[in-house]
Amino acid sequence: MPVNPSTMDAIVIDNVSKAYGSTKAVQTVSLSVKPGELFGLIGPDGAGKTTLFKILVTLLRPDEGRATVVGRDVVKDFRALRSLVGYMPGRFSLYPDLTVEENLSFFATVFGTSIQANYDLIREIYVQLEPFKDRRAGALSGGMKQKLALCCALIHKPEVLFLDEPTTGVDAVSRKEFWEMLQRLKERQLTMLVSTPYMDEANRCDRIALMQTGQILAIDTPSGVEHLFRKPLYAVKAAETFRLIQDLRKAPFTQTCYAFGEYLHLTTEEGTTPADIDRYLRERRHEHVTIKPIQAGIEDSFMALMQHG
Ligand X SMILES: Nc1ncnc2c1ncn2[C@@H]1O[C@H](COP(=O)(O)OP(=O)(O)OP(=O)(O)O)[C@@H](O)[C@H]1O
Angle between helices 172-187 and 142-154 (to 10 degrees): 20
CB of 224: closest distance to ligand X in angstroms? Answer: 22
Under a CB-based contact definition with an 8 Å cutoff, are residues 196 and 11 in contact? no
Does residue 217 bind ligand X (CB under 6 A)?
no
Which residues, numbered 81-100, are part of the site for ligand X (CB under 6 A)?
Answer: none
CB of 53: closest distance to ligand X in angstroms? Answer: 8
Under a CB-based contact definition with an 8 Å cutoff, are residues 156 and 107 in contact? yes
Which residues, numbered 260-299, are part of the site for ligand X (CB under 6 A)?
Answer: none
Q: Identify the residue among 32, 50, 174, 191 touching ligand X (CB under 6 A).
A: 50
Does residue 43 bind ligand X (CB under 6 A)?
yes
Q: Identify the residue among 10, 49, 174, 247 touching ligand X (CB under 6 A).
A: 49
Does residue 47 bind ligand X (CB under 6 A)?
yes
Give the Cα separation of 126 and 104 in Å (integer): 10
Give the Cα separation of 210 and 226 in Å (integer): 12
Task: Count other Cβ atoms within 10 Å, centred on residue 305.
Answer: 16
Taking CB under 6 A as the rule, which mask of x and - marks residues 158-187 in contact with ligand X?
-------x----------------------
CB of 208: closest distance to ligand X in angstroms? Answer: 14
Q: Which stretch binds ligand X (CB under 6 A): 46-54, 97-105, 107-115, 217-225?
A: 46-54
